[in-house]
Amino acid sequence: MARTRPWLEPHPHGLYVRPADLWIDPARPVERAAVTHGHADHARSGHHAVFATPETLAIMALRYGVDATAPSNTAVRYGDGFERGGVRFGFHPAGHVLGSAQIAMEYRGERIVVTGDYKRRPDPTCAPFEIVPCDIFITEATFGLPVFRHPPTAGEIAKLLAAVRAEPDRCVLVGAYALGKAQRVIAELRAAGWHAPIYIHGALERMCALYADHGVDLGELRLVSETDKAEMAGQIVLAPPSALNDRWSRRLPDPVAAMASGWMRVRQRARARMVELPLVISDHADWDELTATIAEVNPRESWITHGSEEGLLRWCELTQRSARALHLVGRDLEEEA
Amino acid sequence: MKRFAALIDRLVYTRSRNSKLALIVDYLKHTPDPDRGWALAALTGALDFPAVKAGTVRALLGARVDDELFRLSRHFVGDTAETAALLWPDSIHPSPSGEGTGVGAIGLAQGIEPPPQTPPLKGRGLSVSEAVDALMAATRSDAPAILASLLDRLDADGRYALLKLALGGMRVGVSARLAKQAFAQAFGVPIDDVEELWHAIPPPYVPLFAWGEGRAPRPDLADVAFFRPFMLAHPLEGESIDLADFAAEWKWDGIRVQLVHGGGETRIYSRGGEEIGAAFPELLAAFDQDAVIDGELLVRGEAQGGAEGGAASFNALQQRLGRKAVTKRMLADYPAFVRVYDLLAVDGNDLRGLPWTERRRQLEAFVLRLAASHFDLSPVIEAPHFEGLATLRAGARDAAIEGVMLKRRDAPYVAGRRAGLWYKWKRDPLVADCVMMYAQRGNGRRASFYSDYTFGCWTDAGELLPVGKAYSGFTDQELKWLDKFVRDHTIDRFGPVREVEKTLVLEVAFDSIHASKRHKSGLAMRFPRIARIRRDKPAEEADRIATLRAMVT
């Protein structure tokens, strides 16, 4: 039997669901988009109708001025879905950031799951990843090389706390992506017993407030811009990675430059960012999580989107799993990993 | 190994020299013998395990990880030891997802059983000295198994430290000089004493630590051919010198060496206190008097003054540098000799406390005891006054002359660079000793070579700032060497630019130097070119920004 044309088409700027006339995470404005999560390489402004979780819609409203309550937009809760053009859509937690979802689609008896970005380890700021059985599993591969094995988060947080306590005259400035990573680091610090105010760069303020509005307790946050330099000695400061070695950091008391990212696993990467204290904390699945997830979902076929596709493809080949790489454009938000 | 791994880790991420110093000081103070001594030896490249090579590590990995995944990973990480440390199956911290599909499974997926391993001794830390003992005892045949069993006992950071220790090439920016300084600072002992004792005591330096901590007297060096720290010169910057107080000698364009004969052995030390005797066997054999001399190592050349005592240019000498073994051909083509200018000890007497005049008198008598074929005396320049000396200096055309040295006649021989005692007065063009910082590939014929070098000089705070960029002045052979140096010592990549370990001194010649905003140092050189590669010179002794600023026209 000749294979019919696939109903989900990979294009460089996104995945197109033909029967539903809908794009998933398109890199340019479209009529109808389903968005997995709020990071800029997945969520863009300018779509006419957006299907996303309420949290993602709120994030898109904050970041891109999308009108979350516009009648053209549809909020889909985890476990809920909708049907369009004969395709049944379902949203499931991806464990990546607040509101992040895997999108499952079923059409004529075939099920495809798009993970967006995801991770498997616990995160106090978002719902945990759910395994959704499927025929075609479309996975990210940011850390698709076996050198990437993120250590336990608690150990990295302990490293951060030890550094703060070791030099009471300095502060530790943690570079953390403004959506997701920053709030997770704060929440992990709270869980580890750090109850002092945490000082933040202005660029993090509104997103932290959004998380708090969604029930994520971040404790007391203070703005660096409204704080005396001396007060921040012996304290923890968070800023977007770009502010790490920027003139902005001059207002801090002799900051120790730290960075929370999965890339910090590789020493030369950390050195390149002039980081003194690398913290391997990532919102993406590491090698073990990626391979374990594919094994667990056990799809007929895996499509690998962005990151180190070659490494994960090779693993699929070695384990006799059918896989192919999709080459999507604009998916390299290195800062966010 | 945990503390050592943590130290290595911190050193990797610490850029300031003072902070590095503080980290090492802390480690030395709080780590027991013999671990700290082995660690120090590892940091300064003084350890060598002949049975363990990079190939050993690659073979071990090959048996555990798919070749293609190793290749992709190595390409991404850029360093074999780090790639191996990260890829090694973790038996200490199982992955938190606990699904058991980690790297260890890759070998199985391929149908390759992991090689039989001794079960890891969990719950018992591996000490640095245990690791060193095991690696030292290793033979070619059992080295892979030994290394594997050590790796199994460590976490990723520990594995990185172990592999760096085993393979050498720590690349954490710690020179022997910095390590000695750390020792001196940790125990409050004079750096000059540390310099002297360092080479006399092999790793793990237990008697050195005992002395440092005041638990034992200063080790007795009577029977050891130990290194005496060199006396160094300040550049002469515009001052006029009274020749009644100062003697003048030519500044030779070779490398500074110290020859020591004592305790039945002969050693040749270079500026940084490294032993380079193996490259100059003819000198080791010829220096048979119980003495310590300071002089310039040169090779005979025909261009300057003929075979009769003439010295060839630095280029000729370079053929002999940095070699572990030397061929007969090398010995014949580039015969080495030492032009002696100071006598530090003779027949058991330390002369360093005597004034230069007295040492010189004894030196002139002593030189007659040495074979003229391999040793001659650096003459004192007779000039009526300073202006006359300037004329002589300007007229000197010998390629082996770099300028003039001025030495205070009543000064003792003291370690380091003391104000007002010795001056170096280099000949035009302007030259500066700079440290290579970055390299980029060239164009056209040189497209595959890292041939464009950015170099820097030190600020008073000990920071290296770029002062210029040069892409000429070297021979094709030197280019090959420089290219290899860049590739072997890359610590970072920024697009096409490689940042290198700050260890290589380049003598840069330039027509003039100006204030400029192009470099952070505020200086720009006109027509800079690489005059020489100074493999013999420690990076810390490269020129300071202040020295260059004084040359601004």
Q: Which residues of B touch A120 (CB under 8 A)?
A: 97
Strand extents, DSSP E, B59-213: none
CB contact under 8 A, B102 and A287: yes
- pLDDT tens-digit map of A306-322: 888 899 999 999 999 99
| Chain A nearest CA to B530, separation (Å) | 27
**Omega within 30 of 0 (cis) for the link into B34:** yes
Rounded mean pLDDT, B74-86? 89
Instruction: At A88, list the tokens.
Output: 């049944």
Lowest mean pLDDT among B110-119, B163-172, B449-458: B110-119
**Architecture of the domain delimited by B430-549:** Beta Barrel (2.40)
Q: Is the Cβ–Cβ distance between A37 and A31 less than 8 Å?
A: no
Q: What is the three-state SS of B10-46?
A: HHHHCCCHHHHHHHHHHHHHHCCCCHHHHHHHHHCCC
Q: Reply yes or no on whether the pLDDT at B106 is more than 80.
A: no
The CATH H-level superfamily of B231-426 is DNA ligase/mRNA capping enzyme (3.30.470.30)
For chains A and B, count residue pairs whose Cβ atoms are closer than 8 Å. 103
pLDDT in tens, B446-469: 656 889 999 999 999 889 999 999
Is B106 in Cβ contact with A146 (below 8 Å)? yes
**Which of B18, B65, B86 has the highest number of chain A CBs within 10 A, making it the mutation to test binding with A?**
B86
Say whether B155 sits in a helix, a strand or coil: coil
DSSP state of B337: E
Q: Using the beta-carbon criterion (under 8 Å), do A151 and B93 form an inter-chain contact?
A: yes
Of residues B293 and A336, which shows the higher confidence score? B293
pLDDT digits (tens, 9 = 90+) for A57-98: 999 999 988 888 889 999 999 999 999 999 999 999 999 999
Pick among A119, A121, A142, A145 to test the B interface (most B CBs inside 10 A): A145
B485-497 residue pLDDT tens? 998 899 888 877 8
The tokens describing B157, both together, are 């950071």
Between B413 and B111, the higher pLDDT residue: B413
Q: Give me the residue from A272, A286, A318 closest to B492, CB to CB.
A: A272
Residues of A with CB under 8 A from a CB of B: 120-121, 145-152, 265-268, 270-272, 274-278, 286-289, 291-292, 295-296, 308, 310-311, 314-315, 318-319
CA distance B304 to chain A (A): 48
Average confidence (pLDDT) over B390-397:
78
| Neighbour count for residue A303 (Cβ, 10 Å) | 20
In three-state form (DSSP H/G/I as H, E/B as E, the rest C), the secondary structure along chain A is: CCCCCCCEEEECCEEEEHHHCEEECCCCCCCEEECCCCCCCCCCCCCCEEEECHHHHHHHHHHHCCCCCCCCCEECCCCCEEEECCEEEEEEECCCCCCCEEEEEEECCEEEEECCCCCCCCCCCCCCCCCCCCCEEEEEECCCCCCCCCCCHHHHHHHHHHHHHHCCCCCEEEECCCCCHHHHHHHHHHHCCCCCCEEECHHHHHHHHHHHHCCCCCCCEEEHHHCCHHHHCCCEEEECHHHCCCHHHHHCCCCEEEEECHHHHCHHHHHHCCCCEEECCCCCCCHHHHHHHHHHHCCCEEEEEEECHHHHHHHHHHCCCCEEECCCCCCCCHHHC
* Closest Cβ opposite residue A147 in set B76, B90, B96: B76
Q: Which of A202-216, B282-296, B412-426 has the lowest mean pLDDT?
A: B412-426
pLDDT, tens digit, 9 for 90 and up, residues A259-289 = 999 999 998 788 777 788 999 999 999 999 9
Is the pLDDT assigned to residue B302 strictly greater than 90?
A: no
In this prediction, residue B164 carries a pLDDT of 93
Sign, CA torsion B380/B382/B388/B391: negative
The predicted pLDDT at position B111 comes to: 33
| Residues of chain B in Cβ contact (below 8 Å) with chain A | 12-15, 65-66, 68-69, 72-73, 76-79, 82-83, 86-87, 90, 93, 95-97, 99-103, 105-106, 109-110, 156, 160, 491-494
Asked if B69 lies within 8 A of A272 by C-beta distance, the reply is no
B99: pLDDT strictly greater than 80: no
The residues spanned by each domain of chain A are 8-147+284-336, 153-279
Is A314 close to B95, i.e. CB distance below 8 A? no
pLDDT band at B102 (very low <50, low <70, confident <90, very high): very low
Q: Could you tell me how far CA B139 lies from the centroid of its own chain?
A: 29
Q: Among B69, B80, B171, which would you mutate to test the A interface (most chain A Cβ atoms within 10 Å of its Cβ)?
A: B69
pLDDT exceeds 60 at position B303: no
More confident residue, A182 or B497: A182
**Average pLDDT over chain B, rounded to an integer:** 86
Percent of chain A past pLDDT 90, that is, above it, reads 81
Q: In this complex, do A146 and B103 lie within 8 Å of one another by their Cβ atoms?
A: yes
Contact B99 A145 (CB under 8 A): no
The residue assigned the tokens 């045949």 is: B141
CB contact under 8 A, B73 and A266: no
pLDDT of A20 over the 60 cut: yes
Exposed/middle/buried for residue B392 (C-beta within 10 Å: 0-12, 13-18, 19+): middle
**Secondary structure percentages of chain B, helix, strand, coil, to 5:** 35, 25, 40
User: Does domain A8-147+284-336 match CATH 3.60.15.10?
Assistant: yes
Q: Return the closest-CA partner of residue A193 out of A231, A221, A235, A157.
A: A157
Our CA-based measurement puts residue A135 at a distance from the nearest CA of chain B, in whole angstroms, of 21
Taking CA–CA distances from B72, the nearest residue in chain A reads A311
Considering only CB atoms, A271 lies closest to which of B69, B87, B492, namely: B492
**Residue of A318, A319, A320, A334 best to disrupt the B interface, most CBs of B under 10 A:** A318
Residue A4: pLDDT above 70?
Answer: no
Asked if omega into B429 is within 30° of 0 (cis), the reply is yes
Smallest CA–CA distance, residue B14 to chain A, in Å, is 6
Closest listed residue to residue A144, CA positions, set A295, A334, A315: A315
Measured on CA atoms in the order A135, A138, A143, A145, is the torsion positive or negative? positive
Q: Taking 50 as the threshold, does the pLDDT of residue B225 lie above it?
A: yes
Strands B265-269 and A277-279 turn out to be: unpaired
Mean pLDDT of the B246-260 span: 93
Determine whether the interchain pair A314/B103 forms a contact, defined as Cβ–Cβ distance below 8 Å: no
pLDDT score for B454: 95
Find the largest Cα–Cα distance for chain A.
Answer: 74
The per-residue pLDDT for range A184-199, each reduced to its tens digit, is: 999 999 999 999 999 9
pLDDT band, very low/low/confident/very high, at A33 (cuts 50, 70, 90): very high
CA distance B234 to B419: 7
Instruction: Kindly report the CATH number that applies to the domain delimited by A153-279.
Output: 3.40.50
- Judged by CB atoms closer than 8 Å, whether chains meet at A149 and B15 is answered as no
Q: Among A192, A170, A176, A196, which residue's Cα sits nearest to residue A238?
A: A176
Count Cα atoms within 13 angstroms, Cβ side, for A217. Answer: 5
- Whether the upstream peptide bond of residue B379 has omega within 30° of 0, thus cis, is no
**Alpha-carbon distances, residue B243 vs A88, B132, B407 (angstroms):** 98, 55, 9
Contact call for A268 and B491, based on CB within 8 A:
yes
Mean pLDDT value across chain A: 93
CB nearest B97 (choices: A148, A277, A292): A292
- DSSP type of residue B220: P
| Cβ separation B65–A146 shorter than 8 A | yes
pLDDT at position B398: 65
Residues 6+ apart with CB under 8 A from A80: A90, A91
Distance CA B491, CA B171 (A): 8
Q: Which of A147, A275, A288 sits opposite B86 (nearest CB)?
A: A147
Q: What is the pLDDT of residue B496?
A: 77
Q: Do B79 and A268 touch (CB under 8 A)?
A: yes
Nearest to residue B436, comparing CAs of B476, B467, B395?
Answer: B467
Which residues in B lie closer than 8 A to residue A288 (C-beta atoms)? Answer: 95, 97, 99, 101-102
Q: Tell me the shortest Cα–Cα distance from A130 to chain B, in angstroms.
A: 14
CA dihedral (A44, A48, A54, A60) positive or negative: positive
Section B180-202 average pLDDT: 90
Alpha helices in B426-495 (DSSP H): 476-488
A145 and B76 Cβ atoms separated by less than 8 Å: yes
pLDDT of residue A111: 97
Contact call for A149 and B79, based on CB within 8 A: no
Chain B residue numbers with beta carbons less than 8 Å from the beta carbon of A266 are 76-77, 82, 86
How would residue B123 be classed by pLDDT, with cut points 50, 70 and 90?
Answer: very low
Residue keyed to tokens 């990546």:
A96
